[in-house]
Amino acid sequence: MAIRLFIDGAAGTTGLEIRERLAGRDEFALILLDDSQRKDETARRDALHAADIAILCLPDEAAKEAVRLAQGSGTRIIDASSAHRVAEGWTYGFPELIGRETIAAAQFVSNPGCYPTGFLGLVAPLVRAGLLPADWPYTVNAVSGYSGGGNTLIERFESDPDIAFRAYGLSMGHKHLPEMRKFAGLAHPPVFSPAVVPAFRGMLVDVPLPLAAIPGAGRVGKMRECLAEFAANGPLVTFAEAGSTEELLHRDEGSADDTMSLHLYANADETQVRLIARLDNLGKGASGAAIQNLNIMCGLPETTGLRLRASGSA
């Protein structure tokens, strides 16, 4: 019998990409609302109660409302918003970090943010292994395609070709910080410097490390081993050896990618390091992660329906 699936917010960017990844899959029977019902509370409640699993692709407050509407139903929920990422009773949906068994058994799963996916993939394994201290004041520099900002930002970039770079989060209170701190096990939130560039999708997350100044930091070789081991814990994360490359390119190719590549670059005497993650903000950073979690929760092969383009390619 097909699993009944409702996508609340199916008309948004994340919802549409989830629908694309579900195309042709007979494991699921989609519960669909027409345009006149999408914001109707009764129709949404009925759909949420009829579903075996619901995926929320909504703004934070609307996601909280959806959870309220689903109360008493027993419906399992994947929330792609930031509303429940550090909330009590919710499982953080980063399988490589949290564990697939934990996600498989969960009723409520919160998708990670796109930037935190890159940051945590780089930093959390090293902190867990004792190769980086939990109390260091980390810095994160990151650039993303404009699709991560939703329809409003998409329209702004596509209507104004003169925008070359958008720095934001200047009040230092970005909503991704709590999950970065919690799931990396840090004593302090990192200093986060996000920016948007005129590419539709994709992102680079860069964590610079002055190793010579960090008390208790491990050696570069051990860090490489740790990240390689973390990446080997599943099919969607890779660790790319730096080699002799002098650049890491982001190309606006337009095609979806549900993988993430991790990179470590060090200077000659290994006193300075840059950790860099490359991923698709709409893939492993959003819709791809939701499908990965959906597959795991339903006992299906983890990569079914996912876009597995080689993330480490230039």
CA quadruple 209, 213, 214, 219: dihedral sign: positive
Q: What is the 3-state secondary structure (H, E, C) of 90-155?
A: CEECCHHHHCHHHHHCCCEEECCCHHHHHHHHHHHHHHHCCCCCCCCCCEEEEEEEHHHHHHHHHH
Catalytic residue check, 114: yes
Say how many C-beta atoms besides its own lie within 10 A of residue 308's C-beta: 14
What six digits make up the tokens of 256? Answer: 């979806």
Pairing of strands 91-92, 108-110: parallel
Q: Which two tokens stand for residue 255?
A: 């095609």
Which residue's entry shows tokens 């930031």?
82
SS3 76: strand
Q: How far is CA 150 from CA 21, 145, 156, 205, in A?
A: 19, 11, 10, 19
Contacts of 97 (CB under 8 A, 6+ apart): 120, 121, 124, 125, 183
- Residue of 57, 114, 226, 298 with catalytic role: 114
Active-site residues, by number, are: 114
